[in-house]
Chains A and B, each alone.
Chain A
Amino acid sequence: EPEVTQTPSHQVTQMGQEVILRCVPISNHLYFYWYRQILGQKVEFLVSFYNNEISEKSEIFDDQFSVERPDGSNFTLKIRSTKLEDSAMYFCASSDLASGRSLKTGELFFGEGSRLTVL
């Protein structure tokens, strides 16, 4: 069964360092997302991406964050200068909202997550 894969599973970094989290969405999906979850709490929307551009972003997704789909398969989240409060689990998700396969359910399929620890 197709799945969303994320790397690394865990990254420890020093405050102020740049971090790149990588995701390979399900191959025929067209919408891609990053969410984050702090300590098993609420799942917070960061950004959605469609047709090679950001379609929506939240207030959390400030200038320190960026996303890219560099090669047609990977979808990356970059945090330029990490802060302590960026420590969280980051989930990538993809959706078949526009794939025409499933009556536009918009169901998100999540990866296993990348745990980011900022020291």
Chain B
Amino acid sequence: ELKVEQNPLFLSMQEGKNYTIYCNYSTTSDRLYWYRQDPGKSLESLFVLLSNGAVKQEGRLMASLDTKARLSTLHITAAVHDLSATYFCAGGPPMRDKIIFGKGTRLHILP
């Protein structure tokens, strides 16, 4: 059964700094997702990564996928307060419908 582990689970950082959230998964996953959740809100899709070496960028966020290492990263460049949220990665077991979520990384960016 696919397991998805994120680290760190909590991250407090200063505005303007760079940081990376790591997402490891236990078995083969043919797709990897990153979602953002603001407190009390729904899950917003950020990135979908489908192949080894995939890299996607949106603003100050960049996601990458290394299927051989079973690792995805979400890199934050020059963080701003608006990026404070919980970030989830999720993986999809091959030929299965469900998506399994990690525990989430609660990101707090200090002004």
Contact residues of A with B, CB < 8 Å?
Answer: 31, 33, 35, 40-45, 48, 50, 55-56, 58, 91, 93, 97, 103, 105-113
Contacts and interface: CB of A to CB of B under 8 A. Distances in A.
Nearest to B93: A56
Interface residues of B, number: 24
A108 B99 contact: yes
Given A42-B101, A111-B42, A112-B42, A105 B50 contact: yes
Interface of B: 31, 33, 39-45, 48, 50, 86, 88, 90, 92, 96-104
**B31, B42, B48, B86 — most chain A CB neighbours (10 Å):** B42
B54 to A, nearest CB: 11
Contacts, number: 59
A33 B103 CA distance: 19
Contacts of A43: 43, 88, 90, 101, 104
Nearest to A55: B97
Contacts of B86: 40
Contact of A109 (B31, B45, B100): B45
Nearest to A112: B42
A61 to B, nearest CB: 11
A45 B50 CA distance: 21
Given A40-B39, A106-B92, A107-B33, A45 B45 contact: no
Contacts of A93: 43
Contacts of A58: 98
